[in-house]
Amino acid sequence: MGASQTRSDHEHQHLTDKTGFSLEQIKNLHKRFQQLSGNEETISKEDLDRIPALANNPIKKQIIGAFFDKRNQHQDEVGSCDEIGFEQFLMVMSHFRPPTLKTTDEEKEAMRKEKLRFLFNMHDTDNDGTITLEEYRKVVEELLSKSGAIGQEAAKAIADAAMLEVASTNVPHMAPDDFYEGITFEHFEQILKGLEMESRMHIRFLDVDTTTMRCGKSTS
């Protein structure tokens, strides 16, 4: 017991440096990971699919997909895995850390880029570096999917208008023959500049352990 504890502590320590979470947060997330995976080493898509609260989420597939997307592991790999381990789980979660008072402006900038990159990867499903009109349409359709039978037309119109906006903002003077291939990452950054991603895209990671209340047993 003691040996495994120190070993997992050691691993967790290594992870704090890599992902920026604190030790308590990693421990909590690890517990959650165990819960989701049924105490296995890895989780698969079905494990995440089983979470009941996610059922109402219109973009459930994309969210789950993001966990298995190798691009989010920051290791310059592409493609997707079938199963991920705790470290990969944490890496994906680390995209949602908030900035602290000590975060400098450059760090904030880097954080923002990272978060935007995460979003971009979620939209750019074929990994060609641009979000094409089809992909964007799909995004809007998914967003509207749980909202009832408004239909494809509205989604199409909205996606088209949005794409037009991106094109107008970034490449204002295109000849009629030009074709705007898709939203590149720079354009994506540009249009979402106003949203201040580093402050908005975060969740509160708990330092206090609440998952044990559900687990029913306290491990360390």
Cβ neighbours of residue 61 closer than 8 Å, sequence gap 6 or more: 142
Q: Which of 100, 105, 217, 220 binds another protein (CB under 8 A)?
A: 100
Cα(59)–Cα(42) distance, integer angstroms: 23
Q: Which of residues 155-174 bind another protein (CB under 8 A)?
A: 157-158, 160-169, 171-174
SS3 85: strand
Residue tagged 């908005």 (tokens):
200
Contacting range for another protein; rule: CB under 8 A; set: 4-12, 13-21, 76-84, 209-217? 209-217
Helix (H) or strand (E) holding 7: helix 2-19
Q: Which of 6, 199, 218, 219 binds another protein (CB under 8 A)?
A: 199
Per the structure block, which two tokens stand in for 114? 């990272």
Taking CB under 8 A as the rule, which mask of x and - marks residues 65-94 in contact with another protein? --x-------------------------x-
Q: What minimum distance in Å lies between the beta carbon of 78 and another protein? A: 21
**73, 46, 72: which is closest to 60 by C-alpha?**
46
Q: Which of 13, 210, 218, 219 binds another protein (CB under 8 A)?
A: 210
Per the structure block, which two tokens stand in for 59? 């973009």
42 has which bridge partners? 85
Contacting range for another protein; rule: CB under 8 A; set: 7-15, 71-79, 80-88, 187-195? 187-195
Q: Which of residues 126-145 bind another protein (CB under 8 A)?
A: 132-134, 139-140, 143-144
Q: What minimum distance in Å lies between the beta carbon of 135 and another protein? A: 11
Q: What minimum distance in Å lies between the beta carbon of 21 and another protein? A: 12
**11, 198, 204: which is closest to 93 by C-alpha?**
204
Which residue spans within 22-73 are E strands per DSSP?
42-44
Q: Which of residues 11-70 bind another protein (CB under 8 A)?
A: 29, 32, 35-36, 48, 51, 53-54, 56-60, 63, 67
